[in-house]
Amino acid sequence: MLSAAIVPLAGYPLLYLPIHIVWLELVIHPTALLVFQELPSSGRLTPIRRQARPRFFSPLAWVSIGALGVLITAAVVLGYDYALGAGRDVEHARAMAIVALIIASATATTGLSRLRSRTAVVVVIGSIASLLLLVQVPALAALVQLSPLHLDDWALSVAAGAIAGAISFFVPLTLRR
């Protein structure tokens, strides 16, 4: 959400077109569901101890979530700015930013879910496969108004996304249940 707001407010061309938002929704919703999904316990069900004040996350978990969001936003916005360059190739810049965002999402899903279920593995692989197809197949890339990336572009975007998403491996256990 931040990257969608920051880019046009900074005077750049829109980062996400409607087709990109639909694509990102298809990736991010299953990811979010997996991260907050609990696997069934193999033991006996026991009563839950109630806290005096119910909390969804601990303060440390909120800080971690905020840091993860800021890092991913920075990777996407800075990647977009870098790729846009003097030539103002918007389709190239969008492709680099979306690669960074989806790689960060896949990395965060891996870190938070620990790929404990087959569904988690399928969602991560599906996210990356959609990225490869919609960015690297010229006809599909043109359809979603992106341009295929070169190997060095992929390396930069994947590195930025992976570094941004890697913080999820250190998110407090209170978030990972």
Q: For the segment 29-44, what is each residue's pLDDT rounded down to a tens digit?
A: 887 776 666 555 566 7
Percent of the residues in the chain that have a pLDDT greater than 70, as a whole number: 83
Structural domain spans, the chain: 2-7+18-31+58-169
**If you average pLDDT over every residue of the chain, what do you get?**
84
Per-residue confidence (pLDDT) for residue 62, from 0 to 100:
80
Predicted structure pTM score: 0.84
Which of 127, 108, 126, 128 is CA-nearest to residue 171? 108
Q: Is 85 helix (H, G, I), strand (E, B) or coil?
A: coil
Q: For residue 10, which amino acid is it?
A: A
Asked if 160 and 98 touch (Cβ cutoff 8 Å), the reply is no
pLDDT-based confidence at residue 132 (cuts at 50, 70, 90): very high
Per-residue confidence (pLDDT) for residue 138, from 0 to 100:
96
Distance (Å, whole) CA 27 – CA 131: 10
- Per-residue pLDDT tens over the stretch 73-120: 998 999 899 998 868 799 999 999 999 999 988 888 888 788 888 888
Distance (Å, whole) CA 171 – CA 173: 6
Q: Is 56 helix (H, G, I), strand (E, B) or coil?
A: coil
Q: What b/e readout covers 51-78, taking b as 16+ CB neighbours within 10 angstroms?
A: eeeeeeeeeebeebbeebbebbbbbbbe
Record the tokens describing residue 22, joined without a space: 């639909």
Distance (Å, whole) CA 31 – CA 76: 18
